[in-house]
Amino acid sequence: MADTLDLSAATAMLKAVSQAVIDQADVLTDADLAIGDGDHGTGMRRGFEGALAALDATPPESIDAAFKTVGMAILSETGGAAGAIFGTLFRSGAKGFAGRDTIDGGSFAAFLEAGLEAVLKRGGVVEGQKTIVDALAPAARAAKAAAGTLPARAKAAADGALVGVEATKGMVATTGKARSLGERSLGHPDPGAISASIILVAMHDFIARN
């Protein structure tokens, strides 16, 4: 297990995260078909394929630049609400790594906190509306509370996100395209929250492995 990640490990982690999202695009499509229009999986795959290509084309010179590169690729290639939200998570979350040579427990928690704050502002949403925020917010809180090393914080974040995804099943969507489903959205997890959990679980897997 890695207590810190340097630039090259951080870049490798972002590539592993991208691959995890690409591999699970069909899961996201099916989740979105249940309560949305079914384009979340293809959109996320497009965005993270773009992220892989961008990381390969221009190897980033700093950790925050690497996260910004991923954010810009998602913003451009995914499009839609998911592009704006997940692009913002990486682009604004990158502030947590500004001026740092490594990802450690503290900067990892700072990444989630900065990303969450920007997503809340951009989306104009609060917790409980059945969105990505319902996975991201518990993840950010858990990472902050866990204190200590990077693996402990990454595990807390991944677990927090998974608990958050489960909780979205009991929520009625009050924003986005699922909003009009009202009660019909009950029982289904939010596709954006699932994406957030895939990203955080992949981060933890990478950190635990390396």
**122 token code pair:** 């951009």
Nearer to another protein among residue 59 and residue 182 (C-beta) = 182
Positions touching another protein (CB under 8 A) are 29, 33, 36-39, 41-43, 46, 75-85, 87, 122-123, 175-182, 184
For helices 191-209 and 40-57, angle between their N-to-C axes, nearest 10 degrees: 40
Find how far residue 155's CA is from the centre of its chain. Answer: 14
Nearer to another protein among residue 103 and residue 119 (C-beta) = 119
Task: Tell me the closest approach of the beta carbon of residue 7 to another protein, in angstroms.
Answer: 26
Task: Tell me the closest approach of the beta carbon of residue 35 to another protein, in angstroms.
Answer: 9
**2 token code pair:** 């890695």
Task: Tell me the closest approach of the beta carbon of residue 60 to another protein, in angstroms.
Answer: 19
Nearer to another protein among residue 48 and residue 206 (C-beta) = 48
Cα–Cα separations (whole angstroms), residue 11 to 17, 21, 27, 66, 169: 10, 16, 25, 7, 33
Backbone angles phi, psi at 17, to 5 degrees: -65, -45
Nearer to another protein among residue 102 and residue 174 (C-beta) = 174
